[in-house]
Amino acid sequence: MILSGLEVVTRQLVRNLPHVTKQQQPCGVDLTLRQVSEWTSAASIDFDNTKRQAAKTSSLPFDDTSHAITLQPGAYLIDFNEIVQIPRNCMGSIFPRSSLWRSGVGIAAGVVDAGYEGAMGALMDVKNPHGVVLYQNAKLAQIIFEELGEMVEGYNGIYQSSTSSVGRDGTERA
């Protein structure tokens, strides 16, 4: 069963919403842009995480006057303002808002596991050859919550209680 946006907000599964009534949707909650970063090094990923090393990133600044950032074609790491607290009987999925893909911009994110608490981010892929202008706090994605058939142990990995999406050994605390 998919939880309604009203239930997600009422249960405070998504927190730190800049404007609750404008972010609550029938089937989920809109996620807003906090930060855009670019990668500055390679990453290393293995099976058992003994050699895992997140790529380093560098935050890109918003214009001080317009509070906007112009992104040329390419891939970027984005952080959302909102944080989540996923119950142990739910999972989250993040989808791009249609205004993004209609503009030649995609968002990809992993499953938000049951039991995860903390910050969220996503990969933003600008395919539009003319780029895109994004404003701080722009609504970019929507998180949907699905109930699981049972209560599970829940996520207990290194990203628990993250304050950014940078990852282990990136430029910010993971």
The structural domains of the chain, with segments of one domain joined by +, span: 2-37+69-147
* Predicted TM-score (pTM) of this structure: 0.91
Is 60 exceeded by the pLDDT of residue 57? yes
Tell me the mean pLDDT in the region 132-151: 97
Tell me the mean pLDDT in the region 90-104: 96
pLDDT at residue 167 in the model: 59
pLDDT digits (tens, 9 = 90+) for 30-39: 999 999 999 9
pLDDT at residue 121 in the model: 96
Can you read off the two tokens belonging to residue 129? Answer: 């050859």
Is 80 exceeded by the pLDDT of residue 170? no
pLDDT at residue 110 in the model: 87
Average pLDDT, the chain: 93
Is 90 exceeded by the pLDDT of residue 52? no
Q: Does domain 2-37+69-147 have CATH number 2.40.128.110?
A: no
Amino acid letter, residue 40: T
- Residue 171: band (very low, low, confident or very high) from pLDDT cuts 50, 70, 90: very low
pLDDT at residue 173 in the model: 41
Is 50 exceeded by the pLDDT of residue 112? yes
Query: What does the alpha-carbon distance between residue 5 and residue 19 come to, in Å, rounded to a whole number?
Result: 13
